[in-house]
C-alpha cells in the first residue's frame, strides 16, 4: 500500500522530496518547457501549508558522476523564484555541509533546492553511503518523480528505504492511478495507438497490452518495418532491418490473439526528408522505390479516428509521422483530435511519451484528454507490466 502526501502531516518536519526537474534547456540555459516543475508545485505547496520544509532533489541530464556546470539546477531555482514566487535556498551541493547549511538557513514558507544528484556517481549506482548522506537531510521522504521511478537510483530507492515515513507526491499518485486504470480492468473497447520511429522501445508494450486491449493502431516510422515484414516495397522509408522478424512475429501473435492490430492503408510520401519536399499520397502497397514515407495518409486518419471514436479506454504513445515538420504533422494532429473527441464523449485517455505530449500540446488539446503522463520511460515500463523500483520503494 502506498500512502499519498494527503495522508501525511509535515508540521515542523524537513521533507526530502525527489522531484523530476530534468527540464529541457536551450543553448543559453533558458528552460524551454517547465511542465515538470509546474506539475510538482501542488506537492511543494502541501508541505509548506502543513508547516514543513520541502528539500527538493533531482537529476538534470547525464553529467556521469562529475560536476559539470552546464547541468546545474541553478536555472530551476531561478525559475521557482522569478516565475512562481517561492523563496529558494539553493544548495551548491546535494549532500554534506553545503546542503545542511542551506537547510539550516531556510525559514518556513521557503524551499531548499539541492544541486544535481548525478554530480555523484553514487546516485546512479544506488550507493549505500550516498543514500545515507542524502537521507540524513530529512525526517520524511516524498517521491514525486514518476519520470525517475523506473531507475533503481539512490534518491529513488536507497535513500527512500531508510525512512520509516515515505509518501507519494500528488503527481506520482496521479500517474499511478491513471496508468493502473489503463492496465487493470480497463473499460472496453480499449484502443492503443503506438507510433514513433522505432519498434525497439515499444515491443514489450505491444506484447503486454495485446493481452488486454481490443485494438492496436500502428503509425509513425515503425509502420515501415511492419510493411517490410509483409513483403511490401517501402522505398527509402525508415527501417529497422534487424526487427523485421520481430514485426512478423507480432503480426502472427495478433492473428492468434483476439486483438485487432491495424496498420495504415495509405501514407504521405516525399522525395526527400524535408518540409519543402514534393509529396504524394499513395496506398501502402504503392510506395515508389525512390520515395520515403513521412506520415499516415487521410484514409488511415479516418480509419483510425473511427476506431478511436468507439473506444472507452485509449492509450497513445508516439506520433504518426514526422510531426515536427508542418507538412507531415496532419496524421498526428488528426489522431490527437480524435482522442480529444472520444474523451469528451466519456472515454478515458492517457497520453505518454515526450513526442506525443509535445504533439497534443501543439494542438492545444492537452486539457481535452484525461491524463498526460510526464513519465517517459517509466510510463512505458509500467505499460509493459514491469514493477518500478521507485514505486516498490514507497510501499
- 5-171 against 178-383: fold identical: yes
Q: What is the largest CA-CA distance in the chain?
A: 69
Helix or strand holding residue 170 (H, E): helix 170-181
With residues binned 3-state (H G I as helix, E B as strand, rest as coil), the percentages for the chain, rounded to 5, are 45, 15, 40
Q: pLDDT (tens digit, 0 to 9) for every residue of the chain, 395 residues total?
A: 899 999 999 999 999 999 999 999 998 999 998 989 999 999 999 999 999 999 999 999 999 999 999 999 999 999 999 999 999 999 999 999 999 999 999 999 999 999 999 999 999 999 999 999 999 999 999 999 999 999 999 999 999 999 999 999 999 999 999 999 998 889 999 999 999 988 888 888 888 889 899 999 999 999 999 999 999 999 999 999 999 999 999 999 998 888 999 999 999 999 999 999 999 999 999 999 999 999 999 999 999 999 999 999 999 999 999 999 999 999 999 999 999 999 999 999 999 876 778 888 888 888 899 998 878 788 888 888 889 999 999 99
CA distance 162 to 248: 47
pTM here is 0.86
pLDDT at residue 35 in the model: 86
Residues acting as catalytic residues = 36, 198, 354, 377
Which CATH number is associated with domain 5-171? 3.40.50.1260
Q: Which residue has the cell 478511436?
A: 308
Handedness of CA 42, 3, 153, 198 (dihedral sign): negative
CA distance 219 to 130: 44
pLDDT at residue 387 in the model: 92
DSSP assignment of 338-368 equals HHHHHHHTT-EEEEESHHHHHHHHHTT-GGG
Helix or strand holding residue 198 (H, E): none
Nearest to 54 by CA among 19, 93, 25, 30: 19
Helix or strand holding residue 313 (H, E): strand 313-317
Q: Where are the chain's structural domains?
A: 5-171, 178-383
Domain 178-383 CATH class label? alpha beta
pLDDT at residue 354 in the model: 65
Amino acid at each position: 500500500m502506498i500512502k499519498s502526501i494527503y495522508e501525511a502531516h509535515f508540521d515542523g518536519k524537513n521533507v526530502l522530496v525527489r522531484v523530476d526537474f530534468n527540464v529541457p534547456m536551450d543553448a543559453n540555459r533558458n528552460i524551454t518547457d517547465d511542465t515538470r516543475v509546474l506539475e510538482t508545485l501542488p506537492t511543494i505547496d502541501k508541505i509548506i501549508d502543513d508547516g514543513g520544509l520541502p528539500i527538493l532533489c533531482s537529476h538534470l541530464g547525464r553529467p556521469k558522476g562529475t560536476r559539470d556546470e552546464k547541468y546545474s539546477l541553478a536555472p530551476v531555482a531561478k525559475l521557482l523564484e522569478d516565475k512562481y514566487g517561492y523563496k529558494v535556498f539553493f544548495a551548491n551541493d546535494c549532500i554534506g555541509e553545503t546542503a545542511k547549511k542551506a537547510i539550516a538557513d531556510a525559514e518556513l514558507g521557503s524551499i531548499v533546492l539541492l544541486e544535481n544528484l548525478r554530480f555523484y556517481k553514487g546516485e546512479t549506482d544506488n550507493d549505500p553511503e550516498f543514500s545515507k548522506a542524502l537521507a540524513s537531510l530529512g525526517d520524511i521522504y516524498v517521491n514525486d518523480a514518476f519520470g525517475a521511478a523506473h531507475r533503481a537510483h539512490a534518491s529513488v530507492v536507497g535513500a527512500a528505504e531508510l525512512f520509516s515515513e515515505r509518501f507519494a507526491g500528488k503527481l506520482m499518485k496521479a500517474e499511478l492511478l491513471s496508468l493502473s486504470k489503463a492496465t487493470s480492468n480497463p473499460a472496453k473497447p480499449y484502443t492503443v495507438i503506438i507510433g514513433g520511429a522505432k519498434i525497439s522501445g515499444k515491443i514489450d508494450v505491444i506484447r503486454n497490452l495485446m493481452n488486454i486491449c481490443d485494438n492496436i493502431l500502428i503509425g509513425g516510422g515503425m509502420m515501415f518495418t511492419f510493411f517490410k515484414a509483409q513483403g511490401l516495397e517501402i522505398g527509402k522509408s525508415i527501417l529497422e532491418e534487424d526487427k523485421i522478424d520481430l514485426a512478423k512475429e507480432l503480426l502472427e501473435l495478433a492473428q492468434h490473439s483476439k486483438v485487432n492490430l491495424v496498420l495504415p492503408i495509405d501514407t504521405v510520401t516525399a522525395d526527400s526528408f524535408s518540409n519543402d519536399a514534393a509529396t504524394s499520397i499513395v496506398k501502402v502497397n504503392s510506395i515508389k522505390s525512390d520515395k520515403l514515407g513521412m506520415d499516415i495518409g487521410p484514409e488511415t486518419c479516418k480509419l483510425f479516428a473511427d476506431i478511436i471514436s468507439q473506444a472507452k479506454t485509449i492509450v497513445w504513445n508516439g506520433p504518426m509521422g514526422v510531426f515536427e515538420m508542418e507538412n507531415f504533422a496532419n496524421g498526428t494532429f488528426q489522431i490527437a483530435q480524435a482522442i480529444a473527441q472520444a474523451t469528451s464523449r466519456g472515454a478515458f485517455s492517457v497520453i505518454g511519451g515526450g513526442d506525443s505530449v509535445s504533439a497534443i500540446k501543439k494542438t492545444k488539446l492537452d486539457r481535452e484528454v484525461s491524463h498526460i503522463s510526464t513519465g517517459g520511460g517509466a510510463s512505458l515500463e509500467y505499460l509493459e507490466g514491469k514493477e518500478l523500483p521507485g514505486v516498490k520503494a514507497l510501499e
